[in-house]
Amino acid sequence: MHAATFAALFAALFVAHSLGDHWVQSSCQAATKGLPGWPGRLACARHVATLTATKGAILAPVALALGLPLTALGVALGLGLDALSHYWADRRFTLARLAERCGKAEFYSLGTPAHPAHPVTAEGKPAATLGTGAYALDQSWHMLWLGVAALLMATI
């Protein structure tokens, strides 16, 4: 039963994460959550609050419809740890520092003008890209913690 519960929870969290991180997050939050000081901290906290609320709003009907055996403690621990890890990564300098320490600094800068092989236009100016290494590392970090959250919720 734990395996099926874990799978259902992870799927619901994955959907909710994508919705909350991309559709629910405001442009202001996205632009300012990595700023130093209180403006960045508060923007990131607002983003994480709406993201966590989105996850709760998706999890509740899934858990009820499937009759998942969840406890309030398991859900609180799972969503709480996920929220803390999301806040940590979305302050940006933290994830950038981790990437540097793991030897991923060049990949982190992929798709930006800071990367040594950044794409350019015919005029030699930086060209827009559909993604960056920072975004890929950010999302993979979040997926790790969604898995941890689902595991906690399924087993506590």
Q: DSSP 3-state assignment of 126? A: strand
Q: What's the pLDDT tens digit per position in 11-63? A: 999 999 999 999 999 999 999 999 999 999 999 999 999 999 999 999 999 99
Domain boundaries, the chain: 2-155
Q: What does residue 21 show for φ and ψ, rounded to 5 degrees? A: -80, -25
What tokens were used for 31?
Answer: 């632009």
Tell me which of 83 and 132 has the higher pLDDT: 83
For the cut 90, the answer to whether the pLDDT of residue 128 exceeds it is no
When pLDDT is cut at 50, 70 and 90, the band that residue 110 belongs to is confident
For the cut 80, the answer to whether the pLDDT of residue 127 exceeds it is no
pLDDT of residue 36: 95
pLDDT of residue 15: 98
Those residues whose C-beta lies under 8 Å from the C-beta of residue 130, and which sit 6 or more positions away, are none
Q: DSSP 3-state assignment of 120? A: strand
pLDDT of residue 64: 97
For the cut 90, the answer to whether the pLDDT of residue 129 exceeds it is no
Q: What's the pLDDT tens digit per position in 6-17? A: 999 999 999 999
pLDDT of residue 42: 98
